[in-house]
Structure 1
Amino acid sequence: AALRDGLSEDRSGIDSNPVHRKLNEKTSQPRYDSMWDFWEAYKRKYPGSDLRIMEDMKHITEAVGRSTPGRLDKKLKRATVKTVRNKMRKLMSIWQRNTNLTIPPEVHDSVAPYIKDVLRHKIPLSIEEKAPTFLTIENYVDMEELLWQHDHHNYVHEGCRADLSALLKMHCYTSVQGYRKYARRSIRILSAWFHGKMESQKSR
């Protein structure tokens, strides 16, 4: 049926490149493009660099940390740990998108602790955080739109996105005690789910 509908029997024209979710052209694309420009400038300085190599990944992570100006750190003007982590997440993502290569898990997963536990003290990076603000309706809508439309993180399972949305709703519409109760239960469910031990909740 597929062949009669137009499916070609010749598969030579199909490439083996992975297919990625499209970035939002107005919000996400410019930020990812900025990190790609950073990578190209870095590669001109250090030819042969490859983000699949642990040493190269650590070196460029430090370069990002040292070249990013800080806004919250009024004294040293250093970037925060969170800012550098966000930039590196974008850099790794756009690098894989544009090169059609995959960063090994052991390299990819080392970036966050390297920033938090090593560069935090070596550079040093700031641990300042923005002052908490009230959650408005506009904030809530923005977070839901980010989660469902503009968050290009590759979750282990799309169900993670639904659970994050549910936790956000519980935070908005339940009392503190109620939120804590259901948040703890959600965490237990997520933990069981990720370990392949999810049981039916219909009887509860």
Structure 2
Amino acid sequence: MFSACGGGNDEPIAPQQPGPGHSGPPPVLIKPPMTGPLLPAPRPNPPGTGPQQPGDGLQLPEGVTLRGQPISSERDYNDLSTHTLVPLSITFANDSHETRQVTIPSCFVFLSSQQSYQDGLNLQTRVITLAPRSTQTVLLGTYCLNLYRYAPPPGIPYSPDSVTQGAELLRVCQTVNNRRTPLDAAQMIRVQQILWNITDRNGMTEDDKAWLNAL
């Protein structure tokens, strides 16, 4: 759905139609990939983001572990929810003899191992059911928290951090998480732009607030 974060013009580009042999929703791009030098990093603590302190990671049930670190991944062409700027592949191992459930909370942050690449924000609660003595990999579409960083290529390691304490970020997450239907492509683009207003500009605008109220 998205191509890259970065400075300059971040207005949406018209959707492209699938090529021959493809099916499912067409990808929607925010802007072409960045090729020049990185722009200045955002302010350390932008309005609405809350304090930035190291988190405790994902809370996993007994017998469940992460198999390696989450890594940035290709999108699933047929799953629009993964057409975000920071799609992550996460592998869980259940070494117990019972079925376990893992919850990735709404507004949970994943930090990039390399500061030139975007951190990711999970908007909607995701529950993964693991069969006994099994390993499962899930693809999680997370949103960009850094307008002035590169979108990660596949294979960049990420660290599970914590649920953000930023009031405006929490408001966006709560609104999206409470929806009964998935976001469509245009709504995903608007949500990403609102997140950039929070993290790299001066916070949500009145138009942003009105749009969220109507979502």
TM range (shorter): under 0.3
Name the structure with the higher strand share.
Answer: 2
Q: TM (normalized to structure 2)?
A: 0.26
Q: Which has the higher helix share?
A: 1
TM-score, normalized by length of structure 1? Answer: 0.27
Structure of greater Rg: 1
